[in-house]
Structure 1
Amino acid sequence: MFAIVRRHPANIAWIALNVALLIVVAGLLVAGSRVSVTGYYSEAAWNWMAGQSMYDTTGTGFLYLPHSAIAYIPFAVQAHPQGDVAWRIISLILFVLGCYRFFRLSPQKSEFFNLSAGFVALLLCADCMRNGQATVIMTATMLLAIDAIRRENWHLCTWLLMLGFAVKPLSIVLILLVGALYAPMRWRLGVGIIVLALVPFAFQSPDYVWQQYEEFGLCLFHSNRIGYEKWWAQLFGMLKAFGLEVPDSIQTASRLLCAVGTLAICFVLKQKLDSKRFLVWLYTLTAIYLMLFNPRTENCTYCVLGPALGLFYAEALCGRRWFAAGSMMALAVVILGSFELGQHITPQGVPPVWLAPLACCFFTLYAAFRLTSELNRLEPPPSREAQPVLE
């Protein structure tokens, strides 16, 4: 971590970019910007402390576990906008640390590489930071958990994954993959889930906590329903914007099939790749699956894809693969401006939610090409049998 602050122009530029983002976001909050979801977190935190319901059970508003409201209490009790700014500072610090540890998995190790990869990750994080989304912290915990696996620190990995799940349940995808792929994690994740479920009972009455769990389950059901009914920045939302309405049953079957396919690919890659490179692909495949198949992916959710896109951009840039690097940067810009760009080229009555998943589809194709290339380099050359000598 301390390497980030070493005196090097690239490190200084990286720190300056993060500070600039914080200043802009803080300035918007001080100026009275209401483009933020932290109001839902704050309201849930106060309701928790008052022993009142945190959910409206319609699939809108506060959608997370009670743990998320408990975690936000230190920020909710602060005056506005100090609490909102503090939440974003903590989020960005964790995100930067997670990106730094994740980028170290690449064979490319330099300050310029970190700056290049970090710049792209920061681009896709910017909208999430402005909104105050818990996605930033969830992404950070996922990245740090990947690094903990590299160091075979199974206990730390477990608690990081549990923290990410407590903040935002989307991290369940990585939890399931890690549990299936790493035997030492299975019993630890089981214990972690039990402990996580019991934590809220230490802060409120058992009846109230149980009621909140029931309401959360109902809220999750309706949230998933809304994910099928409305427009979202995922694969089926993109197809819907193109005029292709996919039936709910086929959507569900596709999600399950691709989940099994992702797990199968990971099993194969774990056997073929070295541990560091496999972890890069484990996170990348997790991020792609979440972006394309999570029913309620939003444009700012693509923060999760940012570190993976940034790493492949920096590898292409440092390897002087200019077309690949330019393509990765173009995809990042399209995702960043998906709403602003999309609203000018989307038919009236259709929300501009299709550009980000379309860019993710192109990134998926690039990832498939890169993965195939890496696997081909691992294949031993065909042996040449001795040719008979003609006398």
Structure 2
Amino acid sequence: MDLSASCASRLRCFMTTEKPISRASFFKIILLWLPIALWYLAGFSFSHFYLFFHQVDAFYYHAGNHWLHQKPLYNGEGNGFVYFPTTAALLSPLTLLPLKPFELIYRIISVSILTLGIYAFATHIGTKNIKQTFFITLLATMLTSQAAIFVGQLHIMTTGLMLLAYTKIAREQYWGAAILLALSLALKPTSIILFLLALGIFPKLSLRLLLITVIVFGLSFILQSPDYVLSQYASFANSFHVAMHHDADNPQQWATFFGMLAFYTHWHIDGTPQFITRIIFAGIVFALCWIAKRRFTIHDAIYFIVALGMCYLMLFNSRTESNDYIMVTPLVGYSLALAYQQKNRIAIYGLSTVILFIAASWNLSKWLTPHNNIWINPTVISFYVIYLLKSMYLNSKQLQNKK
């Protein structure tokens, strides 16, 4: 067996059947990597050519380096590095490199994981025209990923991990799903939404997920002095509290539901009312995901759970930035692929508009409202949520008619 045939056969784990992917399809997939690689390398070059461009991957680099030398990870001001100490621990091996090679390799790893996550989701959750689904989903992600990859956001990697995890849930590979979800949470706290949804909705996964999470977070106490690790968790709690308090009191600064509401109505919801609103919508999202799991096929249920979970994260995380919406665009792209297969023109035009508005949100907002650039993304994702709810209703009605 030659190399291409061997590599192709190894991709069967992503397929909906046991039949290995053909050599021709394998080479088509490889060719897709060329524009992807050029896109991300262009982003890397662009972000380093303009010295004024804000790069967040430097925070990860310095945190990993500080972890290796047992230095403080947090500044106590609620900005900069506001992640779990496990983030620094997991990234620390890469920080043995100089900063520039670290940034390049870190980006390559991030885009590789995201692309694999999209491929797995499209090939296993999708049931029709897998190649087309993968292409449209990937295209939507590429169009909206500029800002996130230019600045080196970590959520590119965690989005891929969560897509891979939920694909494994659909395939009843619960140990693999638990490892991926725990790693995603250890890398970035915002993974908590899909982590908790998986924990609460899939009983066969719950104990495995709790066990693996304890192991992943417990390893930090083995890799470094327990006293140092405990002190960093205490510093994280303080920095996180400062950040959340500031964000809750200034909703107009973030691309969230509350920031959107402040833009349209000049009504600022902060403090306790904001917290209560988050809890209410969290309960609604959990209930909808529970209904999807009970009523729909596992493929449809996974699609709705991940899509609704990501939308909730974008709209109700207290510090969502415009470039964070890369986390939800793979789901919008997947929805567009389904609409294209169903020849639903209204949905095709609507979802394409959502993708284009997210891709151009910065430039559009600067042109339309120079004083405010955070309202476009939460607005279009709110419409996407309505589309998801309508899709759930139609799906449920179709199943009832079949019965």
Give the CA deviation at 1:60. Answer: 0.2
Distance (whole Å) between structure 2 residues aligned to residue 344 and residue 69 of structure 1: 38
The structure with higher relative contact order (CA 8 Å, sep 6+) is 1
Q: Deviations over 1:287-316 (max 9, x none)?
A: 111011111111111111011101011111
Q: Confirm or deny that 1:27 pairs with 2:50.
A: no
Correspondent of 2:179 among 135, 147, 159: 159
Mind listing any 5+ residue stretches in structure 2 that lack a counterpart? 1-10, 13-20
Q: Confirm or deny that 1:332 pairs with 2:351.
A: no
Distance (whole Å) between structure 2 residues aligned to residue 315 and residue 222 of structure 1: 42
Q: Confirm or deny that 1:54 pairs with 2:73.
A: yes
Q: Confirm or deny that 1:366 pairs with 2:350.
A: no
Distance (whole Å) between structure 2 residues aligned to residue 125 and residue 225 of structure 1: 29
- 8 Å Cα contact 1:67/1:200 also seen in 2: yes
- 8 Å Cα contact 2:257/2:316 also seen in 1: yes
Mind listing any 5+ residue stretches in structure 1 that lack a counterpart? 383-391
- Residue 393 of structure 2 aligns with an amino acid whose one-letter code is T
Residue aligning to 2:199: 179
- Residue 228 of structure 2 aligns with an amino acid whose one-letter code is Y
Shift in alpha-carbon separation, 1:76–1:267, aligned structure 2, 3 A: same
- 8 Å Cα contact 1:47/1:53 also seen in 2: yes
Q: Mapping of 1:301-316 within 5 angstroms? A: 301-316=324-339
The DSSP-based 3-state class of the residue aligned with 2:135 is: helix
Distance (whole Å) between structure 1 residues aligned to residue 131 and residue 208 of structure 2: 35
- Residue 73 of structure 1 aligns with an amino acid whose one-letter code is S
- 8 Å Cα contact 1:14/1:119 also seen in 2: no
- Residue 233 of structure 1 aligns with an amino acid whose one-letter code is A
User: Which segment drifts farther, 332-341 or 69-78?
Assistant: 69-78
Shift in alpha-carbon separation, 1:246–1:278, aligned structure 2, 3 A: same
Shift in alpha-carbon separation, 1:207–1:253, aligned structure 2, 3 A: same
Normalised to the residue count of structure 1, the TM-score between the two structures is 0.92
Correspondent of 2:312 among 289, 302, 320: 289
Shift in alpha-carbon separation, 1:9–1:191, aligned structure 2, 3 A: closer
- 8 Å Cα contact 1:118/1:310 also seen in 2: yes
Residue aligning to 1:385: none
Q: Mapping of 1:66-81 within 5 angstroms? A: 66-81=85-100
Q: Confirm or deny that 1:37 pairs with 2:56.
A: yes
Shift in alpha-carbon separation, 1:221–1:37, aligned structure 2, 3 A: same
The DSSP-based 3-state class of the residue aligned with 1:133 is: coil
Distance (whole Å) between structure 1 residues aligned to residue 391 and residue 190 of structure 2: 26
Distance (whole Å) between structure 1 residues aligned to residue 243 and residue 22 of structure 2: 40
Normalised to the residue count of structure 2, the TM-score between the two structures is 0.89
- 8 Å Cα contact 2:248/2:270 also seen in 1: no
- 8 Å Cα contact 1:291/1:297 also seen in 2: yes
Distance (whole Å) between structure 1 residues aligned to residue 32 and residue 402 of structure 2: 42
Give the CA deviation at 1:178. Answer: 1.1
Distance (whole Å) between structure 2 residues aligned to residue 98 and residue 8 of structure 1: 17
Shift in alpha-carbon separation, 1:310–1:13, aligned structure 2, 3 A: farther
Give the CA deviation at 1:17. Answer: 2.7
Q: Deviations over 1:238-270 (max 9, x none)?
A: 111221212422211111011111111112111
Shift in alpha-carbon separation, 1:126–1:5, aligned structure 2, 3 A: farther
Distance (whole Å) between structure 2 residues aligned to residue 224 and residue 129 of structure 1: 25
Q: Mapping of 1:1-391 within 5 angstroms? A: 1=11, 3=21, 6-7=24-25, 11=29, 14-31=32-49, 33=51, 34-104=53-123, 105-230=125-250, 231-242=253-264, 243-346=266-369, 348=371, 351-380=372-401
- 8 Å Cα contact 1:101/1:143 also seen in 2: yes
- 8 Å Cα contact 1:142/1:164 also seen in 2: yes
Give the CA deviation at 1:69. Answer: 1.0
The DSSP-based 3-state class of the residue aligned with 2:243 is: helix
- Relative to its length, the structure with more helix (as a share) is 2
- 8 Å Cα contact 1:234/1:293 also seen in 2: yes
Give the CA deviation at 1:29. Answer: 4.6
Distance (whole Å) between structure 2 residues aligned to residue 346 and residue 235 of structure 1: 18
Give the CA deviation at 1:237. Answer: 0.6
Give the CA deviation at 1:347. Answer: 5.8
Q: Deviations over 1:25-54 (max 9, x none)?
A: 232255354431011111111211221111
Identity over the aligned pairs, expressed in percent?
24
Distance (whole Å) between structure 1 residues aligned to residue 344 and residue 167 of structure 2: 27
Give the CA deviation at 1:318. Answer: 2.5
- 8 Å Cα contact 1:313/1:324 also seen in 2: yes
Count of residue pairs brought into register by the alignment: 380
Give the CA deviation at 1:126. Answer: 2.9
- Residue 237 of structure 1 aligns with an amino acid whose one-letter code is G
The structure with the larger Rg is 1
Distance (whole Å) between structure 1 residues aligned to residue 24 and residue 76 of structure 2: 49
Distance (whole Å) between structure 1 residues aligned to residue 217 and residue 119 of structure 2: 31
- Residue 58 of structure 2 aligns with an amino acid whose one-letter code is G
- 8 Å Cα contact 1:100/1:114 also seen in 2: yes
Give the CA deviation at 1:108. Answer: 2.0
Give the CA deviation at 1:190. Answer: 2.1
- 8 Å Cα contact 1:291/1:302 also seen in 2: yes
Distance (whole Å) between structure 2 residues aligned to residue 42 and residue 77 of structure 1: 9
